[in-house]
Amino acid sequence: MKLSTALNRENRGVAATVLVILILLPLAASIVGFVVRGGRDVPEVFLEKADPRWDACVRETEYMRFYHMDFLKEIREDVVRSGVKGGVTLAGCGDCHRNRDQFCDRCHQAASVNLDCFGCHFYPETDAERISAGM
Amino acid sequence: METAEVTATAEPGVPEQESPQDVRTRTDGRKPVLIEPDLEFIRVMGRTGGDSLKMCFQCGTCSATCPLAPDDHPFPRKEMAWAVWGMKDRLMADPDVWLCHHCNDCSTNCPRGARPGDVLGAVRQQAIIHYALPRFLARWVGNPRYIPLLLAIPAVLLWLAISFRDRIGGALGFHVPTEDEIVFSFTPLLPHWLLDSFFGLFGAFALLAAVVGIWRFARALKRSETWGENPKPVKGVGASVATVLAKILTHYNFTFCETDHRRSISHFGVFFGFVALTLVTLWIITGPVNPLIRGDFIYPFSLFSPWKILANLGGLAILAGLLMMIWDRLYFGHLAGTSSYFDWFLVWTFFLVVASGFVTEFLHYLRMTPHRQVAYFGHLVLVFGLLIYLPYSKLAHLLYRTTAMVFAERYGRIVGEPAKKGGANR
Amino acid sequence: MRWVMDRRDFIKRGGTILAGASGALSLPVVSSCTPEVPHGASTLAGKRMGMVIDLTKCRSGCTACMDACREENNVAFFGDPRWDVHWLRKVNIRPTEEYEGGEGGAEKTVLLMCNHCDDPPCAQVCPVQATYKREDGIVLVDHHRCIGCRYCMIACPYNARYFNWRENEDWPNKEYPKRSHGVAESCNFCAHLVDQMKLPACVQTCQDIGAGALVFGDLNDPQSEVARLVAERSTKRIREDWGTEPKVYYIGL
């Protein structure tokens, strides 16, 4: 159907109704999402018990949530290519965030963002795995 | 002082001549009209699109061809007469000026090239200036020499707001992030609360100007001559508003245009895109107090978030509509009419707002700092130009045309309907 | 002045003013938001890490160094020469009639590994600079960047580089990453241990079992054992005529 036919006088009412419905769809989606979630929030990274050696995470939660990819990349460049040691490491995160289930996967599964760090780097999925690895 | 009576002649069919004294002392309600032409008005109109005004010889072809003009007191012939005579007051209080949708059926058929469509466009610009508060802002918007000033005002204000952000935030009791703390990606530049209060403050001024403008216009309409003496409403206010909203949503009046039929399509796109973006903006503003919005705001939103999809589609619709408008105005002037600076100001401001919005979005996804902050700043300045200058630019048609349409609906001045329904023949 | 403008003029004038004004007025607002990660100083400058292998002390039939390397670095082993990765390997050399010179006709077992050349051909050819020479002379592969083209394997004249044809299923040392399928690798002198001031796994194990055939250290440091051995003993590097300047010296080759 040509645009000019779709928008001629007889079809205007239909066109306008369709557009109004489309515009209201995100509102409906938000309402439905709210109801389905039972009012709960975004998945939070779950920290059961912090390691006593560290009094705080290297950066604030919001910073990490937005920048952790860039942050890890910069550390990687420093450590792997420049040989700078003694700073932050991915393994260091594991001191407090003991397993992937409550740390990385929590958001990454909800956001459906694939990770391929763990084909090479060891990060246990559960606490039991960490203990059996002796770490 | 007695004035001698002039006796009537004996010829039949010739009306009795009245003396000026008798005219002034009539008791039957017919008032004499002293025409005081507003010459400046005529000159200004000549500069803003109504330059062919004086070509009109009142043949009435325009009123006959206008698809939107009702049978009684049609337009635009009488408006052309008033404009030639510089009768600004009548034109400012005339709803027909706003019932016109500039479809150019009249200009195309005018035998003298007087272009009534463009003349009415110039009259509308003068009406916006006339009802604006403060008036000088509307004059500035209509004058290309004031572009740097009009841009400088929001830029400077925004820069001041950002520079004194921490002091303002402290005084208002908002959390001021420290150097290390990065909450939202734009927060170091412009926290949510600052953005909302900035646009809220200036939006309030614009809203006040809009309300005052509508009220002034409505009051003038009630007293205007178009309705005749003591008109009676045929519809309630609520029903009129509802009908007008439905007509606006379906662009009903536009469908009667024959010459510039393309305008209804381009305007449809811009209109609904604007509605979509406005809805998304209002929704996001409610973020801090809205339980339906999940948790903290993490910018940028996912491209697959329904709100993001709606916003992007809305922006694309506006761009498509505006590009069509620009194209038509440039290359189809015989259909779209002559475009004045006032027209271009709105088209280009709108276009740059949406374009800068998309640029900011791309830069934000690419995480290119500080480019994205610079783009966002420019975008905000342009948004100010579009929304806060709304009562002073052509975008004020949002206010005035709606008001005129509601009045027309209420007083039975039906436009565009076939003769059997009481409207013009089509 | 006519205000119903020529469109060209309007676009020119309006566009320039808008662009200029917005640009000029937004310049003061530039602020940076990039994450600040502490960049430490590198302590590797000036070093040249090398190894001396004393073949006279190397025990025949002993695989201690190779096993230790596999355990420490999670090197893939399937028991199939098509897929196995070797960072260290022992090769039997038998001089033939065509070979002229040398020290006699006896069969020798030579321990081969990446020679960490000063002018590494693998680093030269890597199209993405995944293989690179660190400041202290150790040649490393950045497995995040490696695209698996295997050009380095062609370039290495010592055949010391291997490719991960299959996913490595074992993970003996969980504190060190293993390599996934699709990247090339070679001995890296246990750089992670060197950074902790420890010895590579092979060197440590050889010492522990009492053979002491492998010696590791900074060739630039005249006090180190490797520098002394290179200076005092008669050492040889494999195919020095290739000009790669390998840093693995052999005694008794």
pLDDT tens for chain C, residues 1 to 253: 445 556 777 777 777 777 766 665 554 443 333 344 444 455 667 789 999 999 999 988 899 999 999 999 999 999 999 999 999 999 988 776 665 555 556 778 899 999 999 999 999 999 999 999 988 899 999 999 999 999 999 999 999 999 999 988 889 998 899 999 999 999 999 998 998 889 999 999 999 999 999 999 999 999 999 999 999 999 999 999 999 999 999 998 8
For A77, nearest residue in chain C (alpha carbons): C142
Q: State residue B381's pLDDT score.
A: 95
In this structure, of A4-18, B239-253, C194-208, the range with the lowest mean pLDDT score is A4-18
Greatest Cα pair distance in chain A: 75
List CB contacts (< 8 A) between C76 and chain A. Answer: none
Report how far residue C7's alpha carbon sits from residue B193's, in angstroms, rounded to the nearest whole number. 40
Question: Are C26 and B339 within 8 A, CB to CB?
Answer: no
What subunits make at least 3 CB pairs under 8 angstroms with B? Answer: A, C
Averaged over B126-141, what is the pLDDT?
93
Report how far residue A99's alpha carbon sits from residue C251's, in angstroms, rounded to the nearest whole number. 49
Which residues of A, range 93-132, sit inside 8 Å of C by Cβ?
116, 119-122
CATH topology assigned to domain C49-251: Alpha-Beta Plaits (3.30.70)
Question: Are A60 and B181 within 8 A, CB to CB?
Answer: yes
Integer CA distances (angstroms), B26 to B18, B21, B23, B269, C138, in order: 10, 9, 5, 55, 112
Question: Are A23 and B252 within 8 A, CB to CB?
Answer: no
List CB contacts (< 8 A) between B147 and chain C. Answer: 13-14, 17-18, 21
CA distance A18 to chain C (A): 36
Which residues of B, range 382-401, sit inside 8 Å of C by Cβ?
382
Which CATH code for domain B39-131?
1.10.1060.10
Question: Are B265 and A39 within 8 A, CB to CB?
Answer: no
> What contacts C136, CB < 8 A, 6 or more positions away?
A83, C44, C45, C47, C48, C49, C194, C218
* pTM, two decimal places: 0.63
CB pairs under 8 A between B and C: 88
pLDDT above 90 covers what percent of chain B?
Answer: 52
Q: State residue C31's pLDDT score.
A: 34
Question: Are C178 and A85 within 8 A, CB to CB?
Answer: no
> What contacts B322, CB < 8 A, 6 or more positions away?
B266, B270, B347, B350, B351, B354
Report how far residue C53's alpha carbon sits from residue C72's, in angstroms, rounded to the nearest whole number. 20
> Over the stretch A27-37, which tens digit does the pLDDT of each residue have?
998 888 788 77
| 8 Å CB contact between B376 and B189 | yes
Q: State residue B176's pLDDT score.
A: 60
> Over the stretch B352-369, which tens digit does the pLDDT of each residue have?
999 999 999 998 888 777
Q: Could you write out the three-class secondary structure of B306-333?
A: HHHHHHHHHHHHHHHHHHHHHHHHHHCH
Q: Facing residues of C248 across strands?
A: C51
Its ipTM equals 0.75
Question: Are C35 and A63 within 8 A, CB to CB?
Answer: yes
- Say if C19 is an interface residue toward chain B (CB within 8 Å): no
CA distance A64 to chain C (A): 10
Which sequence spans correspond to the domains of chain B?
39-131, 139-421
- Say if B139 is an interface residue toward chain C (CB within 8 Å): no
Please give the backbone phi and psi of residue C59, each rounded to the nearest 5 degrees, phi first: -80, 135
Integer CA distances (angstroms), A9 to A12, A15, B410, in order: 5, 10, 23
Q: What is the dihedral sign for C-alpha C53, C56, C59, C60?
A: positive
pLDDT band at B248 (very low <50, low <70, confident <90, very high): very high
Q: State residue C99's pLDDT score.
A: 59
Tokens of B300: 């940028």
